[in-house]
Structure 1
Amino acid sequence: MSSFLDRAKEQAQRGLTQGKQKLDEVQAQRTGGDLLKKLGAAYYAERKGTGTTEATQAALGAVESHAAEHGDAFLRS
């Protein structure tokens, strides 16, 4: 009986770990999408004359930093 409970506990732990990994991936995707929106808005404002090059560069830097830390999969979705 103990063996059964140990296996069930292991399986539950694996499920929790996989769920956390998936949640982290989804959150990274969402954050990446938000950063891309901010970059687009900064670029649009710059082209329209109401934004600055510095704001666009800062937004681009944030996107590049996020891609370096979490990968660039968010760029493909």
Structure 2
Amino acid sequence: MQEIFAGLPWWVKWVAVPIIALFVFGSLIATVVTIVIGLLFKLLIFVALVGGLIYIVRKFISGSSSRSDW
């Protein structure tokens, strides 16, 4: 790979090739990033809902056991 870029100017390696790669694979990269962000958001929502459910159940159980002690 280094032999291919050996005689070319620096801007071809660091500017032109990444721009061409983004042009060719841009929609694929955007799709992958969107899927990953969507999964992370859904995971965050899931963790928050499960944590809230556990909090509510523990609060309800501890409250009902203290009332039955009377």
Scaled to the shorter chain, the TM-score interval is 0.5 to 0.7
Q: Which aligned segments of 4 or more residues in structure 1 are displaced greater than 3 angstroms?
A: none
Deviations 1:1-59 (A, max 9, x none): 3130221011101100011001101110000000010011111111112xxxxxxxxxx
State the superposition RMSD in angstroms: 1.0
Using CA pairs below 8 Å that are at least 6 residues apart, which structure has the higher relative contact order?
Answer: 1
- TM-score, structure 1 length as denominator? 0.59
Partners of 1:41 and 1:19 in 2: how far apart?
Answer: 33
Paired position in structure 1 for 2:65: 44
Q: Which of 35, 47, 50 pairs up with 1:29? A: 50
* Larger CA Rg, structure 1 vs 2: 2
- Structure 1 unaligned segments of length 5 or more: list them: 50-77
Structure 2 residues without counterparts, runs of 5 or longer? 1-20
Instruction: Give the TM-score, by structure 2 length.
Output: 0.64
Q: Which residue of 2 aligns with 1:12?
A: 33
Alpha-carbon distance in structure 2 between the residues aligned to 1:28 and 1:3: 40
